[in-house]
Amino acid sequence: MNPEVAIDLFKNTILFALYMLAPFLVVMLVVGLLASLLQSVTSIQEQTLTFTPKLVALAILAILLTPWLLRSLTEFTIATFTRMPGLAH
């Protein structure tokens, strides 16, 4: 395997990981901002007010996105395995 192929494979893997994590990061950012806004408006500084909504949002999002995640991971794995014979050169 030459360095260009290794770098390309590494780049594709990192970009795919970011692609998989992006929906979770965006939802956690939005929920965190809304919880912080609620805390500042009501002057309630309770740690569970930020943790619990994030946990619930993460669980709901994971359930909703499971089919997409599995399909994407399967396609990426198949594409990676398909490229393997070409990596031996």
| pLDDT for residue 12 | 92
CA–CA gap between residue 83 and residue 79 (Å, rounded): 6
- The residues, any chain, with a CB within 8 Å of residue 62's CB and separated by 6 or more, are 24
Nearest-angstrom CA–CA distance, 5 and 61: 35
pLDDT tens, the chain, 89 aa long = 678 888 888 999 999 999 999 999 999 999 999 998 988 898 888 877 888 999 999 999 999 999 999 999 999 999 989 888 877 76
Which class for 79: exposed (0-12), middle (13-18), buried (19 or more C-beta within 10 A)? exposed
Whether the full predicted model's pTM is greater than 0.75, yes or no, is yes
